[in-house]
A and B are shown apart, each in its own frame.
Chain A
Amino acid sequence: MYANLGLVEAGCDAIVGFLEENADISCNKMIKKVLHAFKTVFKGLGLTMGHFYAARESRKVLSITDKDYFAQTNGMTTIQYPHQKLPVPEVGRYQLDVEMDDCIVCDLCAKICPVDCIEIESIKATEAIGKTSDGTTKRLYAAKFDIDMAKCMYCGLCTVVCPTECIVMTDTYDRSMPDLKEMIYKFSDMKPEEAEEKRLALEKLNAERMAAKEAAMQQKTQN
């Protein structure tokens, strides 16, 4: 195929050369133009045929870390996405995930978020609840820890500010939901009744403290 196209090109060149030497031949210009057109058309056709021929092989699904990732320059480049997936690194920076056991509910992530996609509701605990894996004491319950992944812009600032590194980006990507509400990921593991109970406990404690405070104040004024 290629050899033939090359021959045609060479033939056109030869005729054009002959015509240039014998410039007095009439219709010279037109014939030269036609031959030039043929030459360029065959060049283009050769190019597309080359691609057509190279379509016998298609791109292999390789990770970016693979040394042959850039080696294949010919053939079909399509990756049939839902059926084939390019491997992503484990430390990929896609969807957010929160390890609630390590969260101290400091609200820093919600504050730094440029698009306000994190919503946290905290309840003060009456005493220290426990410790995170890095030894920080937990003093707040997370009644609500929602991340709206539809709003998230994947900047990763929340993962930077998190003091206990409990909010991380994972290698999960392409989560599509039929309803936009399903894109709000709820990480809090507290049941509403439980949260209500803790809230009441806190109110009770606050009331007791208030009472104690008032009593102390009264004593102070009496004295």
Chain B
Amino acid sequence: MTFYLTYVLVATALFAFTALFTLFALYSERKISAFIQDRIGPMEVGKYGTLQAFADIIKMLQKEFIIPTAADKILFILAPIVIFVSVYLGFAALPWAPGLIPSSLNLGLFYIFAILSIETLGILMAGWGSNNKYALLGSMRSVAQMISYEIPAGVALISAVMIAQSLNLQEISIRQGILSTEQVYFLGIWEVKSVGGLLAWNIFQAPHLILAYIIYFIASLAECNRAPFDIPEAESELVGGFHVEYSGLRFAFIFLAEYSMMFLVGMIGVVLFLGGWNTPLPNVGFAKLALWTTGIGWGIFWILVKTLAVVAVQIWIRWTLPRLRVDQLMSFCWKVLTPLAFLCMLISGLWRLGVMQ
């Protein structure tokens, strides 16, 4: 009985977290974009506009559910749920701290990637169900883009998995710090198991993973439909893309999914490449910084800091780069990212054989 209660509690906590994160990201995105454009952003609701996101949500909750007459009602109603649930389920296998993971799956990464692909289906349902040309165009673009970019993202992740030798995200995290049960080598030469910190992160264990991380990061931007890969939503071309017909709470759910997706892909990248919940501070001589800053509380702190930093970079990039054209997007994926990702995988294999043994 109690474990059912735990299930419900964990699920509620994760949902609360995604909702809070969305509110926070909404506010920070508006502020960061404002600062980048020499504006000041929301200032009226609360001190420095801090309650703006809550005001937005309250407004959204009050809105009417509108279902277009020509829409396919079942698909239209189901789509936001499918979109959100697929992203939300992804959080189930992500580790937060040593020993703190909602579900320690031995196929964790594979599971997350499989479940994230279902979001594509939800987007297609939303676009088709709306019976609106812009929505349909947006969702088709979105599907084409997400399916294409899953390949470089997946291959880049595989090159990290080959170094870590596990698909369990908790295992992968453990192997990037002082808690590792195996030997950890900085750049494949220097034994850093007792030093830990930054030096034990995957990208420093095998430096070609820096390239793999960049590929993954770019592909993940495309997977969450964010600028410069926001052609599915392209406001100036498609009004609002696949969610153009949505209003009220349903739109809020699509929005929630989009922002949770940002956090989710950021967190996957952090776990696989940037040491997960491991501290960036190494043990130096008698100052056992890595030992002092490892633990459940510290783990949550570090993974939050790292992921929020990644999200900040996502936001920064969104407000810097203009949108790509559809053909540019596709040729970039297939002609540049995919070969480079395969190159990374090849180097990973060689690294495994030659350097790590």
Quick check: is A45 within 8 A (CB to CB) of the other chain? yes
**B320 & A48 in contact (Cβ 8 Å cutoff):** yes
Quick check: is B297 within 8 A (CB to CB) of the other chain? no
Q: A30-B336, A34-B340, A80-B43 are in contact. Are A75 and B38 (CB under 8 A)?
A: yes
**A48 & B319 in contact (Cβ 8 Å cutoff):** yes
A131 cross-chain contacts in B, Cβ below 8 A: none
A25-61 interface bits toward B, Cβ cutoff 8 Å, 1 = contact, 0 = none: 0000010011000000100110111011011001000
A54 cross-chain contacts in B, Cβ below 8 A: 38
A75 cross-chain contacts in B, Cβ below 8 A: 38
Most buried by B among A47, A48, A58: A48
Which residue of B37, B40, B43, B316 contacts A49 across the interface (Cβ within 8 Å)?
B316
**A30 & B339 in contact (Cβ 8 Å cutoff):** yes
Quick check: is B335 within 8 A (CB to CB) of the other chain? yes
**A33 & B321 in contact (Cβ 8 Å cutoff):** no
**B336 & A34 in contact (Cβ 8 Å cutoff):** yes
**A77 & B38 in contact (Cβ 8 Å cutoff):** yes
Quick check: is A78 within 8 A (CB to CB) of the other chain? yes
Docked complex Cα distance between A58 and B36 (Å): 13
Q: A44-B320, A45-B316, A52-B32 are in contact. Are A76 and B336 (CB under 8 A)?
A: no
Docked complex Cα distance between A92 and B294 (Å): 66
Q: A75-B38, A77-B38 are in contact. Are A45 and B339 (CB under 8 A)?
A: no
- How many residue pairs at the A-B interface have CB separations less than 8 Å? 47
Quick check: is B147 within 8 A (CB to CB) of the other chain? no
Within 8 A of A (CB), among B214-246: none
A80 cross-chain contacts in B, Cβ below 8 A: 40, 43
Which residue of A48, A77, A78 contacts B316 across the interface (Cβ within 8 Å)?
A48
A150: shortest Cβ distance to chain B, in Å?
27
Q: A44-B321, A52-B32 are in contact. Are A30 and B335 (CB under 8 A)?
A: yes
Count A-side interface residues using an 8 Å CB cutoff. 19
Q: A34-B336, A52-B35 are in contact. Are A78 and B320 (CB under 8 A)?
A: no
A68-80 interface bits toward B, Cβ cutoff 8 Å, 1 = contact, 0 = none: 0000000111101
Quick check: is B39 within 8 A (CB to CB) of the other chain? yes
A61: shortest Cβ distance to chain B, in Å?
13
Docked complex Cα distance between A160 and B86 (Å): 71
B343: shortest Cβ distance to chain A, in Å?
9
B34 cross-chain contacts in A, Cβ below 8 A: 55, 76
B317 cross-chain contacts in A, Cβ below 8 A: 45
Docked complex Cα distance between A213 and B320 (Å): 87
B317-356 interface bits toward A, Cβ cutoff 8 Å, 1 = contact, 0 = none: 1011100000000000001100110000000000000000
Which residue of B43, B320, B340 contacts A47 across the interface (Cβ within 8 Å)?
B320
**A76 & B320 in contact (Cβ 8 Å cutoff):** no
Q: A33-B336, A76-B40 are in contact. Are A55 and B35 (CB under 8 A)?
A: yes
A49 cross-chain contacts in B, Cβ below 8 A: 316
**B340 & A78 in contact (Cβ 8 Å cutoff):** no
B340 cross-chain contacts in A, Cβ below 8 A: 34
A33 cross-chain contacts in B, Cβ below 8 A: 336
Most buried by B among A47, A51, A55, A78: A55
Docked complex Cα distance between A118 and B37 (Å): 44
**A51 & B336 in contact (Cβ 8 Å cutoff):** no
Q: 21 A-B residue contacts at CB 8 Å?
A: A30-B335, A30-B336, A30-B339, A33-B336, A34-B336, A34-B340, A45-B317, A47-B320, A48-B319, A48-B320, A51-B38, A52-B36, A55-B34, A55-B35, A55-B38, A55-B40, A76-B34, A76-B39, A76-B40, A78-B38, A80-B40
With A47-B320, A55-B40 already in contact, 11 other A-B pairs whose C-beta atoms are closer than 8 Å:
A34-B336, A41-B321, A45-B316, A48-B319, A51-B35, A51-B37, A54-B38, A76-B34, A76-B35, A77-B38, A78-B38
Residues on A facing B (Cβ under 8 Å): 30, 33-34, 41, 44-45, 47-49, 51-52, 54-55, 58, 75-78, 80
For the complex of A and B, 7 pairs with smallest distance between CB atoms: A55-B35, A48-B320, A48-B36, A78-B40, A44-B320, A52-B35, A52-B36
